[in-house]
Amino acid sequence: MELRAVCVLLWTSCVLRCGVAHQDFFTSIGQMTDLLFTEKDLVTSLKDYIKAEESKLEQVKQWAEKLDSLTLTATQDPEGFLGHPVNAFKLMKRLNTEWGDLENLVLKDMSQRFISNLTILRQNFPNKDDETGAAKALLRLQDTYKLDTHSISTGNLPGVDLGKLPYKSTMTVEDCFELGKVAYSESDYHHTELWMAQALRQLDEGESTEVDEAAVLDYLSYSVYQQGDLETALDYTRRLLLIDPGHQRANGNLKYFEYQLAKQREAEEAEKGERTRDGVARGKREVESDAADDDFQPEKRKYERLCRGEGLKMTPRRQSRLFCRYFDNNRHPRYMIGPVKQEDEWDRPHIVRFHDIVTDGEIAKVKQLAKPRLRRATVHNPETGELTTAHYRVSKSAWLVENEHPVVDRINQRIEDLTGLEVSTAEELQVANYGVGGQYEPHYDFGRKDEPDAFKELGTGNRIATWLLYMSDVAAGGATVFTEVGAAVRPMKGTAVFWYNLFPSGEGDYSTRHAACPVLVGNKWVSNKWIHERGQEFRRRCGLDELDRNSPVLPHLLHHLL
Ligand code: OGA
Ligand code: FE2
């Protein structure tokens, strides 16, 4: 391709794709896909640069070869050679003009176009926060799904169907080292140790790399020291000193660790002498890691177990009371001929799943509308009341408003028809996209008593119910889990789950606490409709409650209104 053409192409693609300012790429795959195309354009530009550089070098080579044979002949008999008048003229011409031309050619900068393309496109590249964010997502997945560093590094994600993961990717020593450094910069010494140890293993296996073994050992010894394991810290320090006997910090640490270890042993001996009960000599490291994990352990552990598909709390007897049915919402005119399939996912709280609620075409349209507007999802900071980003909610979302496109209205109408609830008072349709590692830790959708202002500005009361439409399958991870009751709901493209957040009295139902598990493989798209209290009483007054009271969706509502 002509260089000029590539340049124009890059400009155009930049203008088309780089309209939005840079923001948290790593939180959603939707916008990351654009980066792949940008990178492809850059490769085209780079290849054109290589071609130009090769053609320049070819010209220089030809000149050198021509002159090589000429000067060889000429210097064998200089006088005889110059006795030919044309040779004399040509020598003058070469020295006066042609060597100058060659000089210009050699000095010609062929890289300008490529460099200018790179400079333009780089403005929209991911930044340090994106790299850190993506690294932290990997560490989160490692914990939630109990993956070991070796499996991640070799690209063998356990429990993941290889058919759903066609793009295997492995990690180099350098990748492991970088991940360890991110953990280190977060003072996360547990993961620093795991990833530096993996880097060291790969180094020991003979993988060639620029990474310095001494640097790996330096991080390793420090991270295990931070976790209280002095003996291992000493081992790593000694190994470091074998490679680099003059390493200043390691020499200092060696003495310090030896001193600390001697002190620790002394203290242990003294303690043993006093009390000989079991467990006293337990390493400091063990004690520390227990303490560090304590904070928010019970729920976090429940959440992670449910995400792994463990710890579901449903006896077969209870399960036998969950049903599937064809549902027409009491002969609703739009569903009488074609009722929808409805399935009980859970009993208390009652969670139902509607099947085949939207078509693939409708999903594609909703995604297309949302994509340019996706922004990092925020949460309310309870202290300042402001919206901020948080590590416990990692995704991007956009709001699709009523009347902006027929597909949005069609979906809103369907929600109203199938739930029997008024949607005009609901929030707009929220579309969310979770990239790999994207998650939303346990939360309630409704506003609690201690936050009476949560939905005040909307003026429509609390969130009576949640409608959650899955707009994609997820290859691995990404389930919606209910941590209080031990339920897990898997995303299934085109299906929607629905539950009430409030009891009939209007009290919040705390058993609805739920979370979106980190996506392990794939890309998760959902859309939410949060239905509010206001407007539901109107339906009843106007005779719209002549609905099937046995319907699994309605009893809550009816009690609420009576
Ligand atoms: C939410 C939510 C669950 C999911 O956005 O409030 O709980 O699976 N989402 O995406
Ligand atoms: Fe939620």
pLDDT digits (tens, 9 = 90+) for 221-266: 999 999 999 999 999 999 999 999 999 999 999 999 999 999 888 9
> Which has more confidence, 314 or 200?
200
Per-residue pLDDT tens digits for 498-539 = 999 999 888 999 999 999 999 998 889 999 999 999 988 755
Question: Which residue has the CA at smallest separation from atom 10 of ligand 1?
Answer: 516
Question: Which residue has the CA at smallest separation from atom 4 of ligand 1?
Answer: 516
From 427, 480, 489, 520, the mutation candidate for ligand 1 (largest count of ligand atoms within 8 A of CB) is 480
Cα 437 → chain centroid: 4
Instruction: Report the atom number in ligand 1 closest to the C-alpha of 517.
Output: 8
> Which has more confidence, 287 or 279?
279
Q: How far apart are CA 435 and CA 448, in angstroms?
A: 29
* Residues 6+ away with beta carbon under 8 Å from 306: 312, 479, 481, 482, 483, 486, 487, 488, 517
Helix (H, G, I), strand (E, B) or coil at 442: strand
Dihedrals φ, ψ of 354, to 5°? -95, 135
Q: What is the mean pLDDT of residues 143-158?
A: 89
State the amino acid at position 116 in one-letter form: S
**In this structure, are residues 425 and 431 in contact, taking their beta carbons and an 8 Å threshold?**
no
Per-residue pLDDT tens digits for 407-455 = 999 999 999 999 999 999 999 999 999 988 889 999 999 998 877 777 8
From 374, 392, 429, 440, the mutation candidate for ligand 1 (largest count of ligand atoms within 8 A of CB) is 440
Dihedrals φ, ψ of 407, to 5°? -65, -35
Per-residue pLDDT tens digits for 480-500 = 999 999 999 999 999 999 999
**In this structure, are residues 411 and 429 in contact, taking their beta carbons and an 8 Å threshold?**
yes
Q: How far apart are CA 230 and CA 285, in angstroms?
A: 9
- Residues having CB within 6 Å of any atom of ligand 1: 432, 440, 445, 468, 480, 514, 516, 526, 528
pLDDT exceeds 80 at position 28: no
pTM (2 decimals)? 0.78
Question: Which residue has the CA at smallest separation from atom 3 of ligand 1?
Answer: 516
Sheet of 514-516, strand order = 393-394, 439-443, 514-516, 480-482, 487-489
Q: Starting from the CA of residue 306, give the closest ligand.
A: 1
Instruction: Report the atom number in ligand 1 closest to the C-alpha of 524.
Output: 10
Q: Starting from the CA of residue 496, give the closest ligand.
A: 1
